[in-house]
Amino acid sequence: MANVVVVGAQWGDEGKGKIVDWLSERADVIARFQGGHNAGHTLVIGGQVFKLSLLPSGIVRKGKMAVIGNGVVLDPWSLFSEIDKLAAQGVEISPENLMIAENTPLILPLHQDLDQLREEAAGKAKIGTTGRGIGPAYEDKVGRRTIRVADLADEETLDARLDRLLAHHDALRQGLGATAVNRAELRAKLLEIAPKLLQYAQPVWKVMNDYRKSGKRILFEGAQGSLLDIDFGTYPYVTSSTTMSGMAATGTGLGPSAIGFVLGIVKAYTTRVGEGPFPTELEDADGQRLGERGREFGTVTGRKRRCGWFDAVLVRQTCAISGVNGIALTKLDVLDGFKTLKICTGYEIDGTRYDYLPTAAALQAKVTPIYEEMEGWEESTEGARSWADLPAAAIKYVRRIEELIQCPVALLSTSPERDDTILVTDPFAD
């Protein structure tokens, strides 16, 4: 059986949570490989709603191993808050079904402070982060001054790490007009939470390789979306990690050969949260309708999402970069009732046509989308579980998307409910 990587192929919020949960029934291990608690995955199971940020979506299924890999940045206080909320909903979480890579970097209160201080100082030039410390935590990882899970097991090591970390952060805080970090208070908080966190710590790279050798099926769960990738996204309005499929290998300690099938999650229209370019954004009644029907508010932040028509140029681009084998097309039902639909098939910039989004910010700002119009449908697609349940115009829309993005549809989702899914190709099949 193939191991499967799930990545968002737009700006996030594509419905990865439901798809990962649906696929996790076929998997033995579900692993998060990047991002932090800025992710927001909503699962609707039998009418019960589960909202996850750090925990892999497979945690709600019994008999599965959930893994937080080293590519994630981990806020331990947020983690245990999330565990407590799920426990109140009847989900049992213990070292029997959750493990955390011992080399996972920690998000500390000082990271959140710095995130918010910078956004306030930036004014109109702000990036639009969630303010949860994700970016500063990744900076410290690359700067070789982070505190990792394993460091909590030894006070001498922790003290050395704190000294190096605070030498950097106190200087930054002074420059931003903030007071120095209370070292004793931070140290005490870390030592207090250490026993709770360390019980989940494992050499994930080794355990995952053992799982693979024994034939267990692994599902790799990405967060955010490909257009927020630190390298290939709409920079600088991006997240601070690699959101492409290749990160599944380095973010868990498995080699690239462990990846069998890459599934890109794609919404039937386009949304974006925060600042940055958005070629097909609609600021009219159609955009308002998409937002209302799609309930387009961030799971983590509650921020209203910007909405627009489907952008085939961007999805084709992200599918190529991540090596997507098939897409899961979500929220098709949101388009029910539109008399006319539009798909962006190309861009025009200063009279020149482009079949990709240029990297230069100056060119991105001048993009004019080139649209192809298609007939909509009046019938409802909500809850459809087979092609026979779909209107002919809806099938035509899906087929045209496949042609334009040069990638087939493997799954089609027609509501937030787990079972309202049409399976075309099983990603776990060899």
> pLDDT tens per residue, the chain (430 residues)?
589 999 999 998 898 878 888 898 899 999 999 999 877 777 777 778 888 889 998 898 889 999 999 999 999 999 999 999 999 999 999 999 999 999 999 999 999 999 889 888 777 666 666 778 999 999 999 999 999 999 999 999 999 999 999 999 999 999 999 999 999 999 999 999 999 999 999 999 999 999 999 999 999 999 889 999 999 999 999 999 999 999 999 999 998 999 999 999 999 999 998 889 999 999 999 999 999 998 887 656 667 899 999 999 999 999 999 999 999 999 999 999 999 999 999 999 999 999 999 999 999 999 999 999 999 999 999 999 999 999 999 999 999 999 999 999 999 999 888 788 999 999 998 6
What is the number of domains present in the chain? 3
| C-alpha angle 425-311-395 in degrees, rounded to nearest 5 | 45
Q: How far apart are CA 41 and CA 123, in angstroms?
A: 29
Query: One-letter amino acid identity for 380?
Result: S
* 131 known member of a binding site: no
State the virtual CA torsion across 315, 317, 322, 325 in degrees, nearest 10: 60
Cβ pair 149, 127 in contact under 8 A: no
* Residue 429 maps to a domain: no
Residue 97 lies in a domain: yes
Tell me whether residue 387 is in a domain: yes
Residue 57 pLDDT: 83
**Does 335 lie in the same domain as 211?**
no
Which of 261, 277, 302 is where one domain is finished?
A: 261
Instruction: Please report the pLDDT score of residue 299 as a whole number.
Output: 59
Entry field: residues in the chain:
430
The verdict on residue 430 lying in a domain is no
Q: Are residues 76 and 220 in the same domain?
A: yes
User: What amino acid positions are annotated as catalytic residues?
Assistant: 13, 41, 141
178 is in an annotated binding site: no
On whether both 314 and 256 belong to a single domain, the answer is no
Q: Domain boundary residue among 163, 197, 231? A: 197
> Rounded to the nearest 10 degrees, how much is the dihedral formed by the CA atoms of 368, 347, 338, 19?
-120
163 and 286 in a single domain? The answer is: no
Residue 93 lies in a domain: yes
CA dist., res. 388 & res. 379, Å (int): 13
Residue 414 annotated in ligand binding: yes
Domain match, 232 and 189 both: no
Q: According to the model, what pLDDT value does residue 377 have?
A: 97
CA–CA separation, 52 and 22 (whole Å): 15
pLDDT, residue 252, reads: 97
The confidence score (pLDDT) of residue 169 equals 97
- For residue 51, say whether it is annotated as part of any ligand binding site: no
Q: What is the CA angle 344-348-353, rounded to 5?
A: 100
Place of tokens 């006070």: 155
Determine whether the annotation assigns residue 185 to a binding site: no
| Neighbour count for residue 349 (Cβ, 10 Å) | 17
- 179 and 286: one domain? no
Residue 190 lies in domain: 109-197
**Domain-embedded: residue 368:** yes
Domain membership flag for residue 289:
yes
Terminal Cα distance for the chain, rounded: 5
